[in-house]
Amino acid sequence: MLSVLEVKRKLPKEFVESLYENYTPLSVDKILSGMSGNRSTTLRVNTLKYSIQDLMKELKSSNIKFERVPWFRDALIIKNKKEKDIQNLEIYNKGYIYLQSLPSMIPPLVLEPKEGEKVLDMTAAPGSKTTEMAMLMNNKGKILANELDKLRCERLKYNVDMQGAEIVEVINQRGEKLGNLYPNNFDKVLLDAPCSGEGRFLANDVKTYRNWSKKSVIQLAKLQKKLFKSAYDALKPGGVMVYSTCTLNKEENEDVLEWAIDNLNLKIIDIKIEIKEGISAFTEGRDISIGKAIRILPSKDMEGFFVAKLKKY
């Protein structure tokens, strides 16, 4: 595991500077420390095919150590195995479990899709959140899962089939166009937006931050606003949407959220899930309700994430 000083030297200088502009020195140290080593292997059971009790029994019989996740009964942190070890298990190859980061499990839990509802997943590949929502809905209702990239779309279809998520229809469209194609159509919309991925940075894995630049952050924020408008248009009046990213900067999080509240008929609502690692959004000089959004700082078990829940009026 690297020291905070070593992490600073490895990551892009401009990125580290931006952290100090937005966070207290103590929080920056916590973030950099969370990027200093490898993250834990985490997964959730697919309750459409299996139960958490059966999964725990199976893992114990294979001498795989695990820890429960207090805010999600169907999730586990694996203590003594890597992802590739889990991928060799029969329960993985039968779609009984899904390897997924813990913060990635949060947006569907916050959206709370119910049986019989119509849900849009705007940027869905590889399908971790799509299949989780199908599970939460007990395969009753309808999920339209969209992905722009054709290769990623194939991966999405594969995962949907593997997990037995029968209520999912996969489409290959530009997310910005969905609001026009399906106006006022969905009870709930998940916009897990394409982002700069700062929350996933690992100092020892240059692939995680090689493509980062301040310019790309600005370009992505423009795309996120277009997708937000499209999500809003696709949502029924009275419907609920979740906006999430796996990044840490305010340009892609609070600034996009503030733009949406100023320009669309949306109101931020409370997130009920209690996550120890969550901190409130930045509210200085903003509508105080933005503080209802939550940010998760990177750690050994969690990558960095941002989640906000909104209602259309």
Give pLDDT tens digits for 25-35. 999 999 999 99
Q: What's residue 242's pLDDT?
A: 98
* 168-227 pLDDT tens trace: 999 999 999 999 999 999 999 999 999 999 999 999 999 999 999 999 999 999 999 999
Q: 3-state class of 84 per DSSP?
A: helix
**Domain final residue pick, 85, 100, 115:** 100
Same domain, 151 and 14: yes
Q: Which residues contact 12 (CB under 8 A, 6 or more apart)?
A: 209, 212, 213
Name the pLDDT band for 89 (thresholds 50, 70, 90).
very high
Give yes or no for residue 42 having a pLDDT over 90: yes
Name the pLDDT band for 288 (thresholds 50, 70, 90).
confident
Which tokens is 243 given?
């906006």
DSSP one-letter code for 32: H
Same domain, 263 and 224: yes
Ramachandran quadrant class, 138 (left: phi over 0; alpha: psi -120 to 50; beta: rest): left
CATH number of the domain within which 65 lies: 3.30.70.1170
Q: What's residue 77's pLDDT?
A: 98
Same domain, 198 and 304: yes
Which tokens is 261 given?
């509240």
Same domain, 197 and 88: no
248, 31 in Cβ contact below 8 A?
Answer: yes
* 97-150 pLDDT tens trace: 999 999 999 999 999 999 999 999 999 999 999 999 999 999 999 999 999 999
Domain that holds residue 48: 40-100
Task: Give percent of the chain above pLDDT 90.
Answer: 94
Same domain, 180 and 236: yes
Same domain, 91 and 199: no
CATH number of the domain within which 131 lies: 3.40.50.150
Give yes or no for residue 306 having a pLDDT over 90: yes
d(CA 70, CA 195): 28
Same domain, 29 and 45: no
The mean per-residue pLDDT over the stretch 147-168 comes to 98
Same domain, 143 and 188: yes
Distances (CA, A) of 187 to 139, 235, 266: 16, 6, 14
Which tokens is 248 given?
């840490």
Same domain, 66 and 50: yes
Name the pLDDT band for 278 (thresholds 50, 70, 90).
confident
Name the pLDDT band for 283 (thresholds 50, 70, 90).
confident
Same domain, 58 and 68: yes
The pLDDT mean for the chain works out to: 96
Distances (CA, A) of 184 to 74, 220, 230: 32, 25, 10
Give yes or no for residue 284 having a pLDDT over 90: no
The mean per-residue pLDDT over the stretch 273-279 comes to 84
Structural domains counted in the chain: 2
Q: Which of the residues are catalytic?
A: 246
Look at residues 141, 146, 219 and name the one whose alpha carbon lies nearest to residue 178.
Answer: 146
Same domain, 82 and 158: no
250, 201 in Cβ contact below 8 A?
Answer: no
265, 272 in Cβ contact below 8 A?
Answer: no
> Which backbone phi and psi does 96 adopt, to 5 degrees?
-80, -20
Same domain, 58 and 157: no
pTM of the model: 0.96
Identify whether 126 is preceded by a cis peptide bond (ω within 30 of 0): yes
Query: 148-173 burial, b for 16+ CB within 10 Å, e for fewer?
Result: beeebbeebbebbebbbbebbebeee
Name the pLDDT band for 245 (thresholds 50, 70, 90).
very high
Q: What's residue 275's pLDDT?
A: 87
Which residues in the chain belong to E strands, given as ranges?
41-45, 66-69, 72-78, 97-99, 118-121, 142-146, 168-171, 186-192, 235-245, 266-269, 278-280, 294-296, 305-312
d(CA 6, CA 10): 6
